[in-house]
Amino acid sequence: STRVGSGGFGEHTGGNGLRRVLEFLTPITVSVLSERRVFAPRGLAGGGDGARGENFLFRKDARGSDRDDGDRGGRKINMGGKNSVSVFAGDVLTILTPGGGGYGATREGIE
């Protein structure tokens, strides 16, 4: 889905980022390699910065399972921009891509 409002403000608003949600059905190793998680996409000529991207892993609550990895689940983990992690059935990875920076000062800002 679209991250409405993630583009920077400006005479020409930056493009919106996306929200991607992946639920894992079997145990697997997943790797994420992404950018603009620390520094926001810059606006130009008076335009505002776009929203930074984010990557989150939501661990399924492990109570009642035979998992014995020390992680009792049911929590949100910030994965940062570059990471590899073992996931289990029911875990969910949410990737929020960054919005684009805006261009130009808004007309309200000029007047």
Q: Which helix (H) or strand (E) holds 108?
A: helix 107-110
Mean pLDDT of 13-29: 96
Is the confidence at residue 74, as pLDDT, over 90? no
What is the tally of helices (H) and strands (E) in the chain?
A: 1, 7
pLDDT digits (tens, 9 = 90+) for 42-61: 999 999 999 999 999 999 87
**pLDDT value, residue 98:** 96
Mean pLDDT of 10-16: 96
C-alpha distances (whole Å) from 60 to each of 26, 54, 69, 101 are 12, 19, 13, 35
**pLDDT value, residue 61:** 72
Is the confidence at residue 71, as pLDDT, over 90? no
